[in-house]
Amino acid sequence: MSNGQLDNRVVSGMRPTGRLHIGHYHGALKNWAQLQHQHDCFFFVADWHALTTSYNETETIEQNTYEMLIDWFASGVSPSACTVFVQSKVPEHAELFVLLSMVTPLPWLERVPTYKDTIRRLNDKNLNTFGFLGYPVLQAADILMYRGGKVPVGADQEAHVEVSRDIARAFNWNFGRDEEWQSLAQKALGRIPKKIARQYETWRKQYVEHGVDEKLEAARALVFEQSHLSHDEQERLVGYLEDGGRIILPEPEVLLTDTPKVPGLNGEKMSKSYNNAVLMREEPNALEAKIRTMQTDPARVRRSDPGDPSKCPVYDLHKIYSNEDTLSWAANGCKSAGIGCIDCKGPLIDSLNAEQTEFHERATPYVEDRNLIRNIIEKGSEKARIVAKETLEDVRAAVGISFR
The burial class, CB within 10 Å (0-12 / 13-18 / 19+), for 204 is buried
> What one-character-per-residue DSSP string does 240-271 give?
HHTTS---SSPPPEEEEPP----B-TTSSBP-
- Partner whose footprint covers residue 46, from ligand SF4, ligand TRP, none (CB < 5 to 8 Å by kind): ligand TRP
CB of 328 to ligand SF4, least distance (A): 12
Cα(356)–Cα(219) distance, integer angstroms? 50
Question: What residues does 202 pair with on adjacent strands?
Answer: none
Cα(276)–Cα(270) distance, integer angstroms? 6
Cα(316)–Cα(156) distance, integer angstroms? 21
Geometric angle at alpha carbon 267, from 261 and 269, rounded to 5°: 50
| Chain length of the chain | 404
* Among the listed residues 9, 15, 26, 39, the single contact to ligand TRP using CB under 6 A: 15
Instruction: Pick the piece of the chain touching ligand TRP (CB under 6 A) from 9-17, 71-79, 219-227, 282-290.
Output: 9-17
Instruction: Pick the piece of the chain touching ligand TRP (CB under 6 A) from 6-14, 118-126, 172-180, 385-393.
Output: 6-14
- Partner whose footprint covers residue 312, from ligand SF4, ligand TRP, none (CB < 5 to 8 Å by kind): ligand SF4
- Partner whose footprint covers residue 142, from ligand SF4, ligand TRP, none (CB < 5 to 8 Å by kind): ligand TRP
Please give the biggest Cα pair distance in the chain: 82
Question: Is the CB of residue 100 less than 8 Å from the CB of residue 141?
Answer: yes
Site pattern 138..177 for ligand TRP (x: CB under 6 A)? -x--xx-------x-x---x--x-----------------
CB of 109 to ligand TRP, least distance (A): 14
User: According to CB under 6 A, which residues from 16 to 55 bind ligand TRP?
Assistant: 46, 49
Number of residues this chain uses to bind ligand TRP (CB under 6 A): 14
End-to-end CA distance of the chain: 22
- Is 86 among the residues that bind ligand TRP (CB under 6 A)? no
Site residues (vs ligand TRP, CB under 6 A): 11-15, 46, 49, 139, 142-143, 151, 153, 157, 160
